Each structure stands twice: as C-alpha cells, then as structure tokens.
Amino acid sequence: MELITAGVDIGSTMTKVVIINKEILASIIGPTGAEHRQLADKVMAQALEQAGISFEDVHYILATGYGRINVPFADKQMTEIACHARGIHSFFPTARTVIDIGGQDSKAIKLDNEKVINFVMNDQCAAGTGRFLEVIAEALGLGLEEMGEMSLRAKKKEKISNTCTIFAEQEIVSRLAEGAAVEDIVAGLFEGVVGRIYHMAERLKIENDTVITGGGAKSIGIIKAFEKKLGFTPMVPPEPLLTGAIGAALLGRDLAYGSMERSEPLRRKERRLKSATFFK
Amino acid sequence: MENQVRPLKMMGKLTDLVNKYWQDVWKSKKEGELVAWCSGMSPFEILRAMDINVVYPEAYGGFCGVAGISTGLCQRAEALGYSQDLCSIIRNSIGAIHGTPAKEQENLIYGGIPKPDLLFCETYCPGVYKMWEKYSRFYNVPLWVMERPRMHDAFSKEKGAHFVKEGIDELKEMVLFLERLTGRRFNIDRLSQSLVLEREANRLWWDSLELCQNIPAPMSVFDAVSHIFPYYLYRGEPQAVAYNQELKSELLDRVAQKISPMVTEERYRLYWDNLPIFFKLEEHIKKFASYGAVPVVAMNSFLYGSPEDMDPENPLESIVKLSLSVPGNRGLKGRIEFLGKLVEDYSLDGLVMQRTRTCLLNNMGQDDIMKALTEKTGLPAVVIEGDLCDSRLYSDSEFNQKIDAFMEILAQRGSRRN
C-alpha cells in the first residue's frame, strides 16, 4: 500500500503544504499573514483539491515551522530544522551543510545523511534574514528577485555597515542621497547579509556539499554572494520554499512506514480539517 | 505520564535563612556595625573573623532576577547613563543602589543593599572591579583589591607556589589595613575555626553535587543555583553546615526512592553552562521536563572550589589556594578537562550552553569550550542566548525553538544509557 502523507510548514511569512505518496501530489505556497491560525486549514483544503483526494485519504500529517502548534489537524509537530534536513537529503543525499534563509530567521544545519548532528540560528536580530531583505527591497521600491538580478550589474559594492534593519534602511537612504548607484548598494547589501550568515554557519564548519534553501535562496544575488564567500557553488533545490514541507511529509511517511514495519499502530490524532482557535 | 515538578523540602528553610541573612545585615548596619561589600570570591573569611558584616551585591542580582524586578532596575541604571551592554548583574545593583530614590529603596526586595563602609573585590571580574571603584569614590570609603591570576591549565603546587606566596603577602597586608581601620586585633585562630566550618559545609555541598550522578539525579541545576545560597551567605558559620547536612539527607532520601526534581522518567541528562536565566527559572524547568530532560550539572555549582584545597591549619594559604584553584579560574584547557570529566561522571547526553549576553567573562571562550567538548565527547550541544537579569536580551520563542530542535537531536540519538 502506498501511503499518502502531508507536510504543513507554517513559516513566519509563507505557509507551505505538500502532499506526497511516491511523488509530489500537490504543493501550495501562500502568505502566512497575521492570522495564520485561520489559514492552515484553507491551504490544506487547496492542496487536497490539487491532489484530487479527500482529507480522509491522508494517512499522516506532520506540521512544522513557527506556526506548527496551530495546526490542529496535524498528527505530529516537528521543528523545521529536522524537516529541512529530511527534505534536503531527499534532493541532495550528499549534502553535509544546509543554510536556510527564512523570513524570520536564518539557520545552518550540519547533516550526517538525513540526521541532524548540529545546528545554529541567528539570535534575536533580523539582520541576515529574509525580512531584512524585504524591508530593504521595499525601501528601494524593488522586488526581491529584481534586487538580486540588479546586484549582478554592480560596478562596486557599497558597504552597508549597520546590522540593525532599521538603521540599515536609514543608511541606504543616506547613500542614495549621496548619489550611490542602486546596483552598488544592493550588491553591498547582499555581501553584508551573506557575510553574517556565513560566519554564523562557520561555527559548524561548513562542508561541501552545501545547500542553500528558504526564501533567500530564490535571490540570485544571495547565491552569487555565497558562491564568492564559500569558494564553491552551493546547491539550490528546485523550489527552495518547499523543502521544509516536503521534509515534513517525508518524515511523516518514515514514521508511518516505521510503525507498519514494527506492526505497531500508527499514532494519529482524531482530526478534523478546521482552524485553530484559542477561545474554546 | 505527566511530569511533576517536585521542589526540595529544604526550600522553606532556604527562604527563612536568606530572609534572616538580610534582616541581620540591615540590623547590624542600623546599629552602626561595619558592612563590607564583597565580590563572590573575595577573602570574606578574614572580614568575618574581624566581625565585619559581608554583603554580596552580585548575589542581589540573582534575588532580583528570580523576583522578576531586575529588568526594571537595569533600566534605572540606564537612565543614569549606563549602557545596556554592561553586565546586567551590575546594572541591577546600580539601579537598586543609585537609580532608586532613597525613600523607595526600602520597598525593594530585602530592603535594597545597605551602603558599604568598605569594599573588597578580586580582579577576577573586571566589571565588578570597576563598579567597586565607582562606589569607593561615591561613598568615599576604602577599596581593597586582591589580585587573582588565572591558572591556565589548573592549579598545581609547583605552578602555583609563586602565586600562593604573593597571595599570602596580600592577605597579610589586608589584615594590617583592617586592623588600622577597625582598631581590632586579628585573631588567626578564629579564622582557622571558621575555615573548619567552611570546609565542612563545602564538603557536604560537594557530596550533594556528587549525589546528582545518580540516575535519576535528586537535584537539578535549577535547584542547585538556589540551594547553594546558604553556603554562599553563611560561609564559615554553623548555619551553612547545618543547612547542607539537611540538604544532603534529603537528597539521599530522594536517591533511595529514585525521585527526580522535575520528571517522572529521566530520559536525558544535560550539562548547563553558566548560571540559569534567573527570570525564567520556572518556565525552563517546565520546558525541559516536558521532554524528560534534566540539566543535572553545571560548572557554576562548583564555583567555590574544592574542600581538598582547604586546610584550616594554614588558613591564609588555604584562602589563596581556594581562590586560585576554583574551576572558573582556569583557562580553556583546564576548564575543558574539568567539564570532560563531568560528562563521564554525570552520564550526560548533551550540553546546553547558556550565553549570557552581557557577561564578557563567561562568553569569551565558551564557543571554544563547546567545540572542544563536542569533539572530545561526541555529545551534541546547543547555545541558548540569554541573560541573567535583563529580560530584554532573551526571547521565549527563540529559546523554545532551539530546545525543541535540540531535543529532536537527542531523541534521534537516544540516551547514552539505553
């Protein structure tokens, strides 16, 4: 019997749902928004529709990401560190280091096959996260991907020294007023952000193969800056936003098959597809 | 089965003893007796032997942290112009002493910190040294500073002989200074007697820590940080001996009955680096307990050195040796060796490194120690960003996120004992 499992990854900015059996049956990416408790069931419903299956057809649901506790229909919750590791391993079995640039944080994960052996995260600061890049892109009136492409045309790199997102924004406004080229500013910005993430990841000793994932990996500016810093080309999954949700679905599948092999009942919750609420 | 937090029965006695300590200090102050401020490892034994009351403003930070008032006191220090980058224990004290209007001070926990008549510290912590300098000027009272050189590997008779001699000379000068100041004669026999008591209390404390090698451990790091206070506040006095004797008895009972302070089933045994985050003690106990994990040992619990280094027959030498040999006074190599032994003795499964954001003293080298230990022992480690007294430098969501991920790693590896 081919089991169907789902991974629900509620990140700080994006919510992702993946449904798999042997292959990916559905994948949905949508903004998390302020009220993610009301959203998980809707995104799940969209994914089910895309897969052409009903909620009852899904054998196991594993939730991850910052909002994982607000997925009342999930059978289990795990951190995105474990899920990214599993997801990345499925694409790149030789990966030893994963760098995830998410909306709210950035992390580095050291792998031994699909096992997490260590991790580091940025601490109490948005510098080095997707949110930092978003704020700056907004200030410059650019899209994130556009900003990445623009950085490749830079003639030099304007150094942005502030690590605080708000002060960095102010510093950029000042540089623009001084006449600096936008291309040079964004190139300097990527260099700065990548430098911070790289030095954090170096605590784990970065080893090849290295994979960059998360929303940040969608920016060519970030990838090129990493390439320069690492001295080699990092790998990027086909859809960097989905590795956590895919990993969650795969971990769910591992658990489900593990139970079957051991002839143990699969611990599932009595579940209904509904929103989380704290007021009942 | 739901985990159950079972505080030690000694908690009631602890509260009484700490309250009594502060009441006695304030009573002495009001009666015109001398009060000295001491840093944690200053040679307070000599002060006590000369009937000088001792107050530890650093410890006051811990009390305020647990009481949940330290961040407000830190902000009061900042309002005086002190940077948030400074040690939060120090900012807490400055906020209480200097940032709180005089008429409000008695409403602070334990009525605040009494003004000093003299100040003593070691060079161990540069922040405390600078704060003591400031208050020496502010109150126009004498400051005595003891040099404490680092013992890079660990203290040994051969390597330490020169420093012991210098330390004894310093103590002799300190005695002369105190005799001139107080007009009292120093009695070395009295000092020896207090060291007999201090050694006994210390031995009992080490026995209690050793009992935590049992599975399950009868006391967690979060308990130890509280139950060390009687020894700290009443060193060299019979109250500390009596308290530690009772504490040890209670722990022996728990060992016999296999009672853990936090969990029904102890799954993972952890090392905790640095002091606990005072203002989050309760929540952290619950968080670890939810995973069946217990931080069973911390280097800080061994803060006051080993009874083996104490010889009441040679009290001055003993005070100096104790100060030089404590694990915290070792360089990286010495600390890594000490912690490596804890990993084996306490059957540890992982390391939780609490990085106190405003403590340069403990942060420097913490990463190196962690790397060396993980390489040497193969144990996983996690760094928790926090602070002792400033809650603005700590994030619940970040703590939970890291602990959740760390526990997944432990679950994947399984306990070393299975």
Helix axes B57-67, B70-79, angle to 10 degrees: 120
The shortest CB-CB distance from A79 to any of B397, B398, B405 is to B405
Q: How far apart are CA A232 and CA A12, in angstroms?
A: 30
Residue position matching structure tokens 């597809």:
A273
**What count of other Cβ atoms lies within 10 Å of the Cβ of residue A261?**
8
Residues 6+ apart with CB under 8 A from A78: A62, A63, A64, A68, A248, A251, B408
Candidates A224, A247, A221; CA nearest to A98 is: A247
Q: How many angstroms separate the Cα of B394 from the Cα of each of A98, B63, B104, B350?
A: 26, 18, 28, 22
User: Helix B126-139 and helix B88-97: axis angle, to 10°?
Assistant: 20
Of A115, A124, A203, the CB nearest to B367: A203
- A116 has a chain B CB within 8 A of its CB: yes
3-state SS track over chain A: CCCCEEEEEECCCEEEEEEECCCEEEEEEEECCCCHHHCHHHHHHHHHHHHCCCHHHCCEEEEECCCHHHCCCCCEECCHHHHHHHHHHHHCCCCCEEEEECCCCEEEEEEECCEEEEEEECCCCCCCCHHHHHHHHHHHCCCHHHHHHHHCCCCCCCCCCCCCHHHHHHHHHHHHHCCCCHHHHHHHHHHHHHHHHHHHHHHHCCCCCEEEECHHHHCHHHHHHHHHHHCCCCECCCCHHHHHHHHHHHHHHHHHHHHHHCCCCCCCCCCCCCCCCCCC
Q: At what angle do helices A182-201 and A144-151 cross, to 10 degrees?
A: 100
* CA-based torsion, A183, A184, A187, A188: positive or negative: negative
Task: Read off the pLDDT of residues B200-218 as tens digits, 9 standing for 90 and up.
Answer: 999 999 999 999 999 999 9
* Residue A81 to residue B381, Cβ atoms within 8 A: no
B400 reaches A (C-beta below 8 A): no
Q: What is the pLDDT of residue A279?
A: 45
Residue-averaged pLDDT of chain B:
92
Tokens for B318?
Answer: 């003993």
Q: Is the Cβ of B257 closer than 8 Å to some Cβ of chain A? A: no
**CB < 8 Å to A119, chain B:** 382, 405, 409
DSSP letter assigned to residue B114 = P
Contact A82 B381 (CB under 8 A): no
- Mutating which of A64, A79, A80, A251 best tests the B interface, going by the most B Cβ atoms within 10 A? A79
The answer to whether the beta carbons of residues A78 and A248 sit under 8 Å apart is yes
Q: What is the DSSP string of B137-182?
A: HHHT--EEEE----BSS---HHHHHHHHHHHHHHHHHHHHHHHHHH
Sheet holding A5-10, edge to edge: A24-31, A14-20, A5-10, A60-64, A76-77
Residue type, B250: E
Residue B218: its H or E element:
none
- Report how far residue B45's alpha carbon sits from residue B198's, in angstroms, rounded to the nearest whole number: 9
- The pLDDT value given to residue B2: 65
Element (H, E) at B409: helix B396-413
Contact A212/B at CB under 8 A: no
**Low-confidence residues in chain A, pLDDT < 50:** 279-280
pLDDT < 50 positions in chain B: none
Q: Which domains does chain A have, with CATH numbers?
A: 5-82+242-261 (3.30.420.40), 94-236 (3.30.420.40)
Which among B382, B385, B405 has CB closest to A123?
B385
Sheet holding B118-122, edge to edge: B53-55, B35-38, B118-122, B143-146
